[in-house]
Each structure stands twice: as C-alpha cells, then as structure tokens.
C-alpha cells in the first residue's frame, strides 16, 4: 500500500537467528541474554549506567515514579508536548501532572524556565522528554531543580524513549537525571516489538527497580533453576514488568546496529533539512540544534496555520506516503478533556499543526526526495 512508510524495521537474518537460538535453547523467560542486554546497554551508555530491562517504556516510566516515591498529593512536572504515557503514569500513581510548555517554536523540548516556575512544595519529580531524540537543555533543567528544591528531594526522570544513542554535551541521554527510561517499541531507534530499559545512578535505586520489576522478589526463576537460590523473599509489593529472552536477544542485535542506524538517520535528516529549507509554509524545529548529537527519532515539521493539515496528510496518502502527528494535545483525549490541565500556548499550537514525515534507518535518499517533492507540490 505505501511507497514510503513512516517507519520500517531494520531487521535481517541476524534478528531471525537470535530469536531462533533462544527458542532452541529452551530458556525463553528472563535469563542470561537479558542480563547481557542490560550490561551491553549500560556499556553503550557509559558512565557506569546500571540498567534493568523491562516489558516496555511505559513500565519503565511507571517504575521510575514508584522508585522516586511519587504518590497521591504529589505534583510531577511533565512536558505538554509528549506521548500520553507520560501523563498516564503520573495519574496512575495518584499524582498531579503539571504541564510545562515547549521552550520555543525552534526548540520543542520542555522549557527550563517553565520548569523553574512550576516547582512548588508539592513537586516530587520532574519528568522530561528528549523530544525527537534532541536532548533537553539538561544543565538549565538541573539548575532549575536545584535552585527551587530548597533541599527537598525532587527526582529528575528522563524519558529517553526517543533518545537511545543521543547525547547532551557528550553525556548519554538517560544517564543525566536520577532515572532514565527507554522504550524499545516497534518504531523506536532500538526496536524489539515491546520492551524498555530503566537506567539508575545509585545502587539503592537499582535494587529498588529490580525488586519492583519482579513482584518484589529477591531471586529469579533462573537463579532457582541454576541453584543460585532455592527460595525467595518478597521485600515490597512489586509488579511483573520483566523482559523475555527472545526480545533481549533481538535487542542485542539491534544494539549493535544502533550507532550506524542513528548516523544514517542523521544523514537523512540533513537531506530533509536541505530540501525543505526556505519552503514557505513549513517551519522545521531543531534546525540549529547544538546541545549534543541527536538520535533523529522522527522528522517533525510545523505547517503554516493557513494550511489544512488533514488535507496535507490525505494528499500524502494519495501519493503512497505515510505520515503521523507527534503529538495530539492531552486535552483532546476524553480522559483528559476536563482535567484542568492548564494552558500551554506553544505546545497546543504545535499539536494542531505538527506533521511527522517518514524517517527510518533503511530509508533511501530517493525516498526523502520523493517525500519532499510531493509535500512541496501539495502545499503549493
């Protein structure tokens, strides 16, 4: 149906073989491959990152909030322009989401000044998102949290779902705050269908996350199978957010491919920037981004307010091009319509006019040209 999909898997026989090997090994639940995936991902991030593989990115965020002790009566600062998982997990732990606007029309990440202004005595965590794989201004956010916390502990959680392999001034995204949360959902830079990773900085937090992941238990099925343990204690109520061996094995292959896949995304993004440069009615964010190396998760553009976005999307569909929106405003969803979430003018405006163009590591430059030529014709 599509000539250019929004995203295509970067899979070959290596992923197939990895999955087959696990099935042949007859050990399919969390085990040695998961441990290797965790340690390899930690090595990839560097800086002594402790990693815990989990079922998906939402599980990673949920556990991050639980580990930070967020609960009823607490406030959690989140960006307005993000995937609904961020606000959902805040609500699910009984806390109040406090929305902060984008920095500007060029920098769609959460505004550090907005974060500083939103911190109150009830603030228990600040949850930031590296939108599109462009790291937030972490120095400014860290000093906002430090200056406004008055000595109270406020956890800084990085939603790095878009940012595996991205860095901020040379430091890997996901390792800068207190906890990092990655998603390995199908369309992510590291793709295993469903999966995620929690990154922690202290041993105490790491142990907490590992207990939360698996029913609060002190040993795993593998430990008992291999004789490392014969029973277990339950040290706190926990969940089952474990990853299985098949996904961990595919994750190891995807991790090897990630640096080159991200570099190719960067080359494709550069071609998009060139071809859409100066096109009237299209604004491209992060054009002059210089805070680090992005992971180019998506290629978002902002359509002029005179354009009908639905008509543009339909025009692209007629030419076999799939596009998307990152993201609809929370207030558009039934669950959040009457939530008193407050106004964030830039994010609301971006939500109404944003269009995401195809970007994936097996995309060709010809495909980028086709998308840009078609888009230019549609809006002309």
Ligand X SMILES: Cc1ncc(COP(=O)(O)O)c(C=O)c1O
Rounded to a whole number of angstroms, the minimum distance from the CB of residue 252 to ligand X is 18
Q: Cβ 24 to ligand X, closest distance in Å?
A: 28
Contact between 80 and ligand X per CB under 6 A: no
In angstroms, the CA 360 to CA 367 distance is 11
Alpha carbon 199 to chain centroid, angstroms: 13
Q: Does 82 bind ligand X (CB under 6 A)?
A: yes
Alpha-carbon span 66 to 201, nearest angstrom:
16
Q: What gap in Å lies between CA 40 and CA 48, rounded to an integer?
A: 11
- Which one of 188, 257, 310, 376 is the catalytic residue? 188
Taking CB under 6 A as the criterion, the residue among 7, 185, 241, 299 binding ligand X is 185
Q: How many residues line the site for ligand X (CB under 6 A)?
A: 14
Residue 186 token pair: 């199908």
User: Nearest approach, Cβ of 291 to ligand X (angstroms)?
Assistant: 18
By the rule CB under 6 A, 183 interacts with ligand X: yes
**Does residue number 99 form part of the binding site for ligand X (CB under 6 A)?**
no
Q: Does 354 engage in binding with ligand X (CB under 6 A)?
A: no
- Nearer residue to ligand X within complex by CB, 82 or 374: 82
Active site residue 188: yes
Measured distance CA(235)–CA(64) in Å, rounded: 18
Rounded Cα distance, 322 and 318, in Å: 9
Among 77, 99, 115, 161, binds ligand X (CB under 6 A): 161
Least separation in angstroms between residue 57's CB and ligand X is 3
| Helix residue ranges per DSSP H, the chain | 13-25, 32-45, 57-67, 84-92, 112-118, 138-149, 203-213, 221-225, 245-276, 309-318, 345-353, 365-379
Do 106 and 113 meet the contact criterion of CB atoms below 8 Å apart? no
CA–CA gap between residue 16 and residue 39 (Å, rounded): 22
Residue nearest to ligand X (CB): 57
Binding part of the chain for ligand X, among 41-49, 81-89, 309-317, 352-360 by CB under 6 A, reads 81-89
Question: Should residue 129 be labelled a site residue for ligand X when binding is judged by CB under 6 A?
Answer: yes
Residues 6+ apart with CB under 8 A from 273: 284, 287
Among 10, 50, 56, 123, indicate the residue that binds ligand X (CB under 6 A): 56
Given phi > 0 = left and psi -120 to 50 = alpha, else beta, which region is 286?
left
Counting contacts by CB under 6 A, is residue 57 touching ligand X?
yes
Please tell me whether residue 85 binds ligand X under the rule CB under 6 A.
yes
Going by C-alpha positions, the residue among 190, 188, 322, 316 that lies closest to residue 251 is 190
Q: How far is the CB of 46 from ligand X (least distance, A)?
A: 22
Q: Looking at beta carbons only, is 187 or 218 nearer to ligand X?
A: 187
Residue 246 CB, shortest distance to ligand X, in Å, is: 16
Q: Which positions lie near ligand X, rule CB under 6 A?
A: 56-58, 82-83, 85-86, 129, 159, 161-162, 183, 185, 196
Please identify every residue annotated as catalytic: 188
């Amino acid at each position: 149906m599509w000539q250019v999909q929004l995203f295509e898997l970067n899979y070959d026989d290596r992923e197939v073989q990895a999955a087959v090997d696990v099935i042949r090994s007859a050990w399919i639940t969390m085990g040695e491959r998961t441990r290797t995936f965790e340690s390899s991902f930690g090595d990839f991030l560097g800086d002594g990152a402790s990693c815990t593989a989990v079922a998906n990115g939402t599980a990673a965020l949920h556990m991050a909030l639980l580990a930070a002790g967020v609960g009823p009566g607490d406030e959690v600062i989140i960006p307005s322009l993000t995937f609904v998982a961020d606000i959902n997990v805040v609500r699910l732990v009984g806390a109040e989401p406090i929305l902060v606007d984008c920095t500007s029309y060029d920098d769609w990440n959460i505004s550090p000044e907005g974060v500083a202004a939103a911190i109150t005595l009830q603030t228990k965590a600040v949850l930031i998102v590296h939108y599109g794989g462009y790291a937030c201004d972490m120095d400014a956010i860290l000093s906002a949290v430090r200056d406004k916390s008055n000595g109270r502990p406020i956890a800084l959680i990085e939603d790095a779902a878009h940012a595996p392999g991205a860095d901020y001034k040379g430091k890997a995204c996901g390792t800068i705050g207190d906890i990092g949360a990655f998603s390995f959902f199908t369309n992510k830079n590291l793709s295993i269908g469903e999966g995620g990773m929690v990154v922690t900085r202290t041993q105490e937090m790491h142990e907490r996350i590992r207990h939360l992941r698996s029913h609060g238990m002190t040993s795993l099925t593998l430990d008992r199978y291999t004789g490392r343990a014969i029973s277990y204690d339950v040290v706190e109520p926990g969940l089952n957010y474990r990853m299985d061996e098949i996904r961990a094995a595919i994750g190891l292959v995807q991790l090897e491919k990630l640096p080159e896949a991200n570099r190719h995304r960067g080359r494709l993004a550069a071609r998009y920037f060139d071809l859409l440069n100066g096109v009237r009615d299209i604004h491209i964010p992060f054009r002059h981004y210089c805070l680090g190396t992005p992971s180019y998760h998506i290629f978002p553009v902002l359509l002029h307010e005179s354009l009908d976005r639905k008509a543009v999307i339909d025009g692209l569909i007629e030419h076999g091009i799939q596009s998307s929106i990152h993201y609809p405003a929370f207030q558009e969803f039934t669950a959040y319509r009457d939530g008193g979430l407050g106004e964030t003018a830039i994010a609301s405006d971006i939500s109404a006019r944003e269009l995401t163009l195809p970007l994936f590591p097996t995309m060709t430059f010809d495909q980028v040209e086709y998308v840009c030529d078609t888009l230019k014709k549609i809006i002309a």
